[in-house]
Structure 1
Amino acid sequence: MPKILKLDDPALFNLQIRHVPNKGQASRAWLNIANPAEEAFVDMMGGHKLASRPEDDYKYMVITETAERELKRATNELHALFMHATDYVLQNEDLLSSFNIPSALWPKIHQSWDNRRNQMITGRFDFSLSAKGIKVYEYNCDSASCYMEAGIIQEKWAEHYGATEGEGSATELVDELIEAWSNSAVKGVIHIMQDTDLEENYHALFMKRTMEKAGLNCKVIKGVSSLRWDQDGDVVDADGIKIRWVWKTWAWETALDQIRAECDDDEQRLRDYQTDMPRSEAPRLVDVLLRKDVMVYEPLWTLIPSNKAILPVLWMLFPDHPYLLESSFELSDALKTNGYVSKPIAGRCGFNISLYDGKDALMEETAGRFSHQDQIFQALWKLPDIEGYRSQVCTFSVAGHYAGSCLRVDPSLVITKDSDLMTLRVIE
């Protein structure tokens, strides 16, 4: 007989792996390449697939409705906690100085928070979910990734492969995004600014389709080489249209790095930096994103909750909160004793993360481009191992509320930008 679970049974929070029968589905096309976003996804993946490893083609995972309800509660509550902590940081310059943001930008961040705190469209939480409980690793308020996979690709995978158990984990995500864009302040053309790599192509095209369904007029700009200044000192696109509204796949940190490089990390120059000066050279990313007459999504203030320096602030404000992991700017004896993770404060994509056990021995680390950043230290809380897959559940907040989830998997302890997504279904 199957085990009967009670509603308060911790086992309800365990992910479980499932297999669909192999009927040769992997050899047949299943995405619609007439749709530009799906075509871009196929280009990036090198075929009609969600997983990079062929052995994963016929696998998916399930969570229970009980676990989903708790993820929803955690997402809504944590969004509020991160917003509270953001406000606290902006009222405490000593704390703000720990975020390694050029002080010339502090007034702009304050202005952004004061005027645009309700204009955040969407963010993504990274969670560990298991019978041990739910713990949040961080809040990506400035990331474009995983939305298309969650909202479109995993549903098409389930249909093609015959995974009919339960329901998709992000069936409302696209509609929630459309509604958020419908309620946004955007007037006129919104320029979607992206880097030139393949992954950003489908991120940009997915969001373009979502915005257009909300009635917005969109243009995609790849890179910045086509931008120029007009006679009014404004940045314009290749067709001469002034850039006034932007949604970006670039991280705000990329723009900040341009300022740091230009100022040669000189403290005085960083303090005196002018963000709105037309220049004789061609416009750079920073010249667009930091102009006072350009409205960017996500707003500039999202630099604060996206920065790992927010994690020790949260722990200070809400110690022992059940969803939080102990975090600190200094490596405490308690963290050393129980194991800890070292993270760069403004890192992305799982780069430059080191995991140490309770004997201060290095368990795992990732390389990357953020080794120069200051570090924070977070209690070690390993991702659950589901038949060899370290599994991280990501939830999406749209307009500050839960809008669905997805699953990232990796054989290693750290999820990086190269980790696969696996279809996630919600069962009774």
Structure 2
Amino acid sequence: MIRETLSPRSDWRARVEALGLIWHEGEQRPYWDESACYRFTRGEVDRIEAATGELYRLFLAAGEAVVSDPALLNRFAIPAAFHDPIREAWEAEPPSLNFGRFDLGFDGGDAPRLFEFNCDTPTSLLEAAVVQWAWKEECFPALDQFNSLHEALVARWREIAPDLPATVHVAHVADLAGEDAVTAAYLRDTAEAAGIGTVPILMERIGWDHDAHCFVDEADVRIEALFKLYPWEWLVREDFAPHLLDNLERGDLIWIEPVWKMIWSNKAILPVLWDLFPGHPNLLPASFAVPQGDAVAKPLLSREGANVSIRRAGSIVAETAGVYGDEGYIFQSLYRLPEAAPGCFPVLGSWVVDGAPAGMGIREDGLITSNTARFVPHVIDG
């Protein structure tokens, strides 16, 4: 795994915008950063792909353990009223993309190690699936890339299409940066490429029909299937949570992704994994109690690296602000990321679609990967 410095294309902004990545600027430097790339050997990519498939297997076992143990599910800070809907959805396996991004530490030598699984509302999707592939085809046409993500998403939509209504609503929040809007628009593209009609809607525009006991769009049309780029842990704490429970009990709306994703996307799954598979080469030791050694403290429900702290020799050496933490923390043993360039610590985002490895994206940041991270493309060389 080698980081190579490059000269960006003179018209890179126009090129990525033409592919839909309208949000590409960061505070200090571009978010889409083609001033560098990572070169991997085929053997390194094979190890990343194998680790990704193995981690999915571990998550299946951990999910089964959690839904089977009420005491364990209580550790996840999920409102008790939603425990039964989670168990029911886990057993029923409703239609879903079943996709997500494993964030991994990898130095090219030791086995890839799991940091967390972003599988409820994962972003950096368009740049991983489309933008970096187009960059590779133009700049390194003779090389390969670990990337079948676009094809896998379209194929998965096509596979679940018979179980979906004619139209799927796709919802997101009106974020200032446009990151969620870009991701939602891309997922609409993949659904429509599979022959599924979609309707965009902002989360705040979704209404509730009290007479029909159903969610409706701005035209008062019943929503029968909803892809929501909005965390379940936020949904279950909204004022309309009682309506949500009513809806889940009726089972007349297909939620993509399903409510059981609250288990896998919660950091509490990390100690469960370690308890089930202690010493596994793709896991880091994790617990609910403060360990004696160097560790990373993570709130159960944090996003974009918020409220994370790194602790070495009893002192906090890096931390981020945010609004999380009241729900509790887990502690994960510190993994020392390689510093590929001064101040650049890469985290690999290895994607799965319906549980199968489908591609990789890389984000660089400081010691804690946050919403200031930059996306750097990659190639396979040799």
Q: Displacement, 1:228?
A: 4.7
- The list of structure 1 runs, each at least 4 consecutive aligned residues, that deviate by more than 6 angstroms after superposition, is 288-291
What is residue 408 of structure 1 aligned with on the other side? 363
Q: Displacement, 1:158?
A: 3.1
Q: Displacement, 1:297?
A: 1.0
Amino acid at match of 1:296: W
Q: Displacement, 1:349?
A: 1.1
Cα distance change, pair 424–378 in 1 and its aligned pair in 2 (3 A): same
Pair 1:63 & 2:40 matched: yes
Please, which of 271, 287, 305 is the counterpart of residue 350 of structure 1? 305
Contact 1:289-1:296 at 8 Å conserved across structures: no
Cα distance change, pair 386–45 in 1 and its aligned pair in 2 (3 A): same
CA distance in 1 between partners of 2:185 and 2:252 (Å): 25
What is residue 352 of structure 2 aligned with on the other side? 397
Q: Displacement, 1:46?
A: 5.3
Instruction: Give secondary structure in 2 for the equivalent of 1:220.
Output: strand
CA distance in 2 between partners of 1:372 and 1:32 (Å): 39
Please, which of 159, 173, 177 is the counterpart of residue 195 of structure 1? 173
Pair 1:312 & 2:264 matched: no
What is residue 99 of structure 1 aligned with on the other side? 76
Instruction: Give secondary structure in 1 for the equivalent of 2:205.
Output: coil
Structural mapping, 1:212-291, within 5 Å: 212-225=192-205, 227-229=207-209, 231-258=211-238, 275-277=244-246
Contact 2:299-2:307 at 8 Å conserved across structures: yes
Q: Displacement, 1:62?
A: 1.2
Pair 1:326 & 2:285 matched: yes
What is residue 93 of structure 2 aligned with on the other side? 116
CA distance in 1 between partners of 2:308 and 2:260 (Å): 24
Describe the superposition over 1:256-311 as per-residue Cα deviations: whole angstroms up to 9, x where unpaired. 2326xx89xxxxxxxxx67445xxxxxxxxxx778631111111111111111111
Cα distance change, pair 191–320 in 1 and its aligned pair in 2 (3 A): same
CA distance in 2 between partners of 1:127 and 1:17 (Å): 17
CA distance in 2 between partners of 1:72 and 1:373 (Å): 33
Instruction: Give secondary structure in 2 for the equivalent of 1:31.
Output: helix
What is residue 24 of structure 2 aligned with on the other side? 45
Aligned length: 374
Pair 1:132 & 2:118 matched: no
Identity value in percent: 27
Contact 2:225-2:253 at 8 Å conserved across structures: yes
Describe the superposition over 1:304-337 as per-residue Cα deviations: whole angstroms up to 9, x where unpaired. 11111111111111000000000011123xxx23
Contact 2:34-2:377 at 8 Å conserved across structures: no
Cα distance change, pair 27–243 in 1 and its aligned pair in 2 (3 A): closer
Describe the superposition over 1:367-400 as per-residue Cα deviations: whole angstroms up to 9, x where unpaired. 1121322000110102211012100111001111
Pair 1:182 & 2:161 matched: no
Amino acid at match of 2:326: H
Contact 2:97-2:157 at 8 Å conserved across structures: no
Contact 2:136-2:143 at 8 Å conserved across structures: no
CA distance in 1 between partners of 2:46 and 2:132 (Å): 20
Q: Which has the larger radius of gyration?
A: 1
Contact 1:165-1:425 at 8 Å conserved across structures: no
CA distance in 1 between partners of 2:243 and 2:210 (Å): 19
CA distance in 1 between partners of 2:71 and 2:333 (Å): 24
CA distance in 2 between partners of 1:53 and 1:46 (Å): 5
CA distance in 1 between partners of 2:31 and 2:244 (Å): 45
What is residue 5 of structure 1 aligned with on the other side? none
Cα distance change, pair 318–117 in 1 and its aligned pair in 2 (3 A): farther
Instruction: Give secondary structure in 2 for the equivalent of 1:394.
Output: strand
Contiguous gaps of at least 5 residues in structure 2:
none
Q: Displacement, 1:235?
A: 2.0
CA distance in 2 between partners of 1:121 and 1:348 (Å): 19
Cα distance change, pair 32–351 in 1 and its aligned pair in 2 (3 A): closer
Amino acid at match of 1:292: G
Amino acid at match of 2:268: A
What is residue 314 of structure 2 aligned with on the other side? 360
